């Protein structure tokens, strides 16, 4: 009788464990460009596909207080939520364009972050602004929608410095006719800063297509990815004691990779605890040391847009065209 009870309990335990360990399809492969990359990503690491069917997935962010992922589908004007238990649900819509009719082929939100107040901060293409919203609310407030009285082009990606200021990029991708759109009011595609008092300043004005951005672990360097096929680069800008960007330095040039036929451009990026850049680019994800050395790549076979650290900080979530994927790493995101 006692043996039967133990056997029954063991069967139940194994069944529950099997149910908890969901199996996901995999895709892509890992390419080691430098031996140091093996310390960051094991050779048996699997790239899991968590969800699919999106027009263009972007801007992933992990919500620590809740344990779930949020991300944008820019063309569909929606923000989705994914978690291990419930899978995929719609979190918020419209995410970036609240007007009527067709605005452009990318009207929705793009980059997302959770700020130091626990709010969801969104870069909105259609409404041409950076907004903030409580995670349990429906009303957004505008953090910034213009520079010196002129409307932004289409805010793309955003980060928040430890001092509370926001930095974001403003390329033309959300406009109907992109860089030739007649509604453009600002000639530059700038990198901007929203100060704590609401003032907006342009920090970088000479990039042709600024896109993803991130801070070094110590907050003293701002990295910016440029999604220009003629100059696919990552730049590093030192920040002075007041948070203003100085003269930029080239970190890595992936233009030759694109010229060789590797699809994709520098886009969203995140930093690990040692200062390495994990960024979408030609072929998928590129992992670049702070010194500008290519350590390795995660080849996805699809255009890759962005990434975010999640779970305990060791899992990298990736938005890959119509997919959302993840991979377990041997490092941890900066600030975890």
Assigned domain for 6 exists: no
Q: Would you call the peptide bond into 325 cis, given omega within 30 degrees of 0 as the criterion?
A: no
Considering the entire predicted model, what is its pTM? 0.93
> What's the Rg (C-alpha) of the chain?
20
Q: Please give the span between the terminal C-alpha atoms of the chain, in angstroms, as a whole number.
A: 49
Above 70 in pLDDT, residue 10? Answer: no
Above 70 in pLDDT, residue 9? Answer: no
Assigned domain for 274 exists: yes
Q: Going by C-beta distance under 8 Å and a sequence separation of 6 or more, which residues neighbour residue 34?
A: 293, 294, 295, 296
Above 50 in pLDDT, residue 19? Answer: no
Assigned domain for 84 exists: yes
Above 60 in pLDDT, residue 297? Answer: yes
Which run of H or of E encompasses 69?
A: strand 68-73
> In total, how many domains does the chain have?
1
Assigned domain for 152 exists: yes
Above 80 in pLDDT, residue 5? Answer: no
Assigned domain for 169 exists: yes
Assigned domain for 3 exists: no
Question: Rounded CA gap, 120 and 70, in Å?
Answer: 9
Assigned domain for 314 exists: yes
CATH of the domain at 256: 2.120.10.30
Read off the pLDDT of residues 116-131 as tens digits, 9 standing for 90 and up. 999 999 999 999 999 9
The predicted structure's pLDDT at residue 17: 39
- For residue 13, what pLDDT band results from cuts at 50, 70 and 90? very low
Above 60 in pLDDT, residue 225? Answer: yes
Read off the pLDDT of residues 156-209 as tens digits, 9 standing for 90 and up. 999 999 999 999 999 999 999 999 999 999 999 999 999 999 999 999 999 999
Assigned domain for 99 exists: yes
Mean pLDDT for the chain overall? 94
Question: Rounded CA gap, 74 and 60, in Å?
Answer: 12
Residue span of the structural domain in which 72 resides:
29-328
Mean predicted confidence (pLDDT) in 66-88: 97
């Amino acid at each position: 009788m006692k043996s039967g009870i133990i056997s029954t309990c063991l069967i139940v335990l194994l069944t529950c464990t099997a149910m908890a360990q969901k199996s996901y399809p995999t895709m892509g492969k890992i390419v080691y460009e430098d031996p140091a990359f093996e310390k960051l990503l094991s050779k048996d690491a699997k790239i899991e596909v968590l969800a699919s069917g999106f027009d263009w997935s972007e801007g992933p962010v992990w919500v620590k207080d809740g344990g779930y992922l949020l991300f944008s589908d820019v063309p569909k004007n929606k923000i989705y939520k994914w978690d291990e238990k419930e899978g995929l649900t719609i979190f918020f819509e419209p995410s970036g364009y609240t007007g009527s009719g067709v605005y452009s082929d990318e009207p929705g939100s793009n980059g997302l972050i959770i700020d130091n107040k626990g709010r969801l901060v969104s870069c909105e293409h259609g409404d041409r602004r950076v907004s903030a919203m409580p995670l349990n609310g429906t009303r957004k407030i505008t953090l910034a929608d213009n520079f010196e009285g002129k409307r932004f082009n289409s805010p793309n990606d955003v980060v928040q410095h430890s001092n509370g200021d926001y930095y974001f990029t403003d390329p033309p991708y959300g406009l109907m006719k992109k860089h030739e759109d007649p509604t453009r009011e600002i000639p530059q595609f700038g990198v901007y800063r929203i100060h704590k008092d609401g003032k907006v300043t342009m920090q970088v004005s000479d990039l042709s297509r600024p896109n993803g951005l991130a801070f070094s672990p110590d907050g003293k360097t701002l990295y910016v990815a440029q999604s220009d096929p003629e100059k696919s680069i990552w730049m590093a800008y030192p920040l002075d004691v007041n948070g203003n960007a100085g003269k930029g330095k080239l970190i890595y040039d992936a233009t030759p990779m694109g010229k060789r036929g590797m699809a994709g451009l520098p886009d969203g990026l995140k930093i690990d605890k040692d200062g390495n850049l994990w960024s979408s680019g030609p072929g998928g994800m590129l992992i670049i040391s702070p010194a500008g050395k290519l350590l390795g790549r995660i080849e996805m076979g699809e255009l890759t847009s962005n990434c975010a650290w999640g779970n305990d900080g060791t899992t990298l979530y990736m938005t890959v065209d119509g997919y959302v994927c993840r991979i377990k790493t041997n490092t941890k995101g900066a600030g975890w």
